[in-house]
Amino acid sequence: MKKKVIIVLIVAILLILLFPIRLQLKDGGTVEYKALLYKVSKVSRLISIEEMGAEGKVKDYDKGIIFEILGFEIFNNVE
């Protein structure tokens, strides 16, 4: 009986920590999936003409993926 309660508690805690919430940002199409332990951002944002000139970019948008675990950036390939 006690083992079942512990297993149910562990599963419930894992669901709370790992279940993501989808957020649609209004910066050109970025989508973020946030959970308590991690965050995945599929970036698709527009940049200004001034920023394009300052950074020497050809495209007027950024695309890529950002992956964070516990607030630390693990992977970032945003152009």
Cβ contact 43:24 at 8 Å: no
Q: Is residue 68 part of a domain?
A: yes
Q: Is residue 5 part of a domain?
A: no
Tell the residue number behind the tokens 């698709």, with chain if given: 44
Give residue-wise pLDDT tens across range 15-37: 888 899 999 988 778 999 999 99
The number of distinct structural domains making up the chain is 1
Domain housing 58:
20-76
Q: Is residue 12 part of a domain?
A: no
Tell the residue number behind the tokens 């991690």, with chain if given: 38
Give residue-wise pLDDT tens across range 44-71: 888 777 777 777 776 777 789 999 999 9
Q: Is residue 2 part of a domain?
A: no
pLDDT of residue 62: 79
Return d(Cα 28, Cα 44) in angstroms, integer: 6
Q: Is residue 72 part of a domain?
A: yes
Which residues sit opposite 63 in a β-bridge? Answer: 44
Q: Is residue 70 part of a domain?
A: yes
Q: Is residue 29 part of a domain?
A: yes
